Each structure stands twice: as C-alpha cells, then as structure tokens.
Chains A and B, each alone.
Chain A
Amino acid sequence: MTVVVVLCAVLLTAAAVLALVRVERGPSMLDRTIALDTLTAVLVGAVAVHAAWTRRTDTVPVLVALSLIGFVGSVAIARFASVEPEGEGRVLTREEVAALELDRMDAEDAERRDTDAEHHGGGAEGDVRRVEEPDGGGEGGDR
C-alpha cells in the first residue's frame, strides 16, 4: 500500500504543480478559474488518498466541503467575468510593480500635502471656540 500511496502522491503533486503553472500564466481570468477548479479536484484526490492510506474516516467530511467550495468559487468568477483588455490579465514584472508603487506613493504624498494646507495652515476656527460663544458662558463656562 505504501508504494501505491507514494506513487499517487507523486502524480497528484505533479498535477497540482502543472495546474499552478497554468494559474500563473493565465492568460485570462477564466483559464485561471479552470486551473483552480482542477486544483480543487486534485486536493480532493489527495485527501482521499490520505484517508485510504491511514484508514481514518474523520477526513471524509472534508471531501464533502471541498467538492462544494470549488463549485461556488468558479461560478462566482464566471458570473462576473468581463472583457479584459489585451495584456491586462498577466502577472506584472518586478519593475512594473515598482513603478506602480512609486506612482501610488506620489499621489498619497500630494494628497497629504493638500490636507495639511487645508486643516493646519488656516485660522484656528475649531469647534471648541464656537461652543463658548452663545450666552457668554453655558456649557463651556467652567473652563
């Protein structure tokens, strides 16, 4: 039995790795969905082999859950699939990610500068002073 289990494990691992390569390459969201579906099936197979090897029955409910989850995921992605522009669906290279990150940080810095000038540069008209004004006392009187 051990030899069979090792052979099964090798085959299943190879299948999972090949499916993962397809997930990485794309080229579209739907290709990835199909590959992830296959990955779920391979995972169910791996749990099944484990259950058959150890003869434990407590991992069998995991199979039920897995076979349902794969379905929900792929249907949800297919439902919201839309036309992707050419080249949109690929994984970015390291330089492209760095450029995008730089742009984002620049935008954040600019936004922060604008906020500073607006809230801390002008006259000090806070809420505290406006509370004291009516009646010359009242709630703010004991300060």
Chain B
Amino acid sequence: MTTVLDVLAAICLLAGSALAFAAGLGLLRFPDLLARSHAATKPQVLGLLLMLLGVALRLRWGPAIWMLVLVALFQMVTAPVAAHMVTRAGYRTGKVDSRALVVDELTDDLHAAAEEQDLTD
C-alpha cells in the first residue's frame, strides 16, 4: 500500500516538475506578454496542484495535508487575480498588439465608454 502511494506521489511530483519546465520554456520562447502569461499559469495552477498532491500522498499526516489544501486554495484564488491585474496593466499601457488578437472586445468597449463619457459631459 505504501509503495503504491509512493509511486503515485512520484508520478505527481514528476508531472508537476515537467509542467514547471514547460512554463520556463514558454516564458523564454513566446513572443509577447499575453502568450507568456499563458505559459506562466502552468506551474501556478495544475503543476502546483499535482506537486501538492504528491507531497500529501507522501506525508500522509492530517495537519500537513490541511495546510497543503490551504496552499492550493490560496493559489487558486490569487493566481487568476494576479494574472488579470498584470495583463490588464499590460493592455492599458499598450504592450498588447491588437492586430495579433482574434477577438478584441475590450478596445471596442473602451471606445464606447469614452464616447458615452463625452456625451454626458
């Protein structure tokens, strides 16, 4: 039983590390901000969850597992917020090339909002 759990833990840890490595490659190779932030989410969510699962399978001790659950919850709440803040700041400071986007609703919305502002003034 313990051997099975250890093997499962090893597989989880290896998969998480592989995702982290893929994110490193993506950060280096991808051309712009949005693509890089896409690559950066791999170890932040799935990779981290896999690694925490691996640690939990290996430790097998209640209090530590609850703390690992806490880490997973924190990460899943904060990672989207941080990514949203960073890419929003990138969009607003002109670091996103709108010609490379397939759908670009935010630019239309910003123009519409600016026109509405002009009308009310």
Partners in one complex: yes
Interface residues of A (CB under 8 A from B): 1, 4-5, 7-8, 11-12, 14-19, 21-22, 28, 30-31, 33-35, 37-38, 41-42, 44-45, 48-49, 51-52, 55, 57, 60-61, 63-64, 67-68, 70-71, 74-75, 77-79, 81-84
Alpha-carbon gap, A22 to B27, bound state (A): 7
- Contact residues in B for A15 (Cβ distance below 8 Å): 17, 20-21, 23-24, 43
Q: How many angstroms between the C-alpha atoms of A30 and B91 in the bound complex?
A: 11
Q: Are B33 and A28 in contact (CB under 8 A)?
A: yes
A35-B40, A45-B16, A67-B74 are contacts. A19–B27 as well, Cβ < 8 Å? yes
**Best-surrounded residue of B47, B78, B82 (most CB of chain A within 10 A):** B82
Once A18-B24, A38-B40, A52-B54 are accepted as A-B contacts, the answer to whether A67 and B71 lie under 8 Å apart by CB is yes
Residues of B within 8 A of A60 (CB): 55, 59, 64, 67-68, 71
Give chain B's interface residue range (CB within 8 Å of chain A). Answer: 35 or more
CA A61 – CA B27 in complex, angstroms? 28
Q: Which chain A residues lie closer than 8 Å to B82 at the CB level?
A: 37, 70-71, 74-75, 78
Cα-based distance from A18 to B67 in the complex (angstroms): 29
Q: Are B85 and A44 in contact (CB under 8 A)?
A: no
Interface of B is mostly: helix
Chain A contact residues, majority secondary structure = helix
20 interchain pairs, CB-CB under 8 A: A1-B6, A11-B14, A14-B21, A15-B23, A18-B21, A30-B33, A30-B89, A31-B36, A41-B23, A41-B40, A45-B16, A51-B55, A57-B63, A60-B68, A63-B68, A64-B67, A64-B74, A78-B89, A79-B89, A81-B93
User: Which 6 pairs from chain A and chain B are nearest by CB?
Assistant: A18-B24, A15-B24, A71-B78, A11-B17, A81-B89, A78-B85
User: A42 to B89, Cβ gap below 8 A?
Assistant: no
User: Least Cβ distance of A80 to chain B in Å?
Assistant: 9
Q: Which of A31, A42, A61, A67 contacts B78 (CB 8 A)?
A: A67
The complex places the Cα of A51 from the Cα of B71 at a distance, in Å, of: 14
Known: A49-B17, A71-B81. A21 touches B59 (CB 8 A): no
- Tell me the minimal C-beta distance from B100 to chain A in angstroms: 16
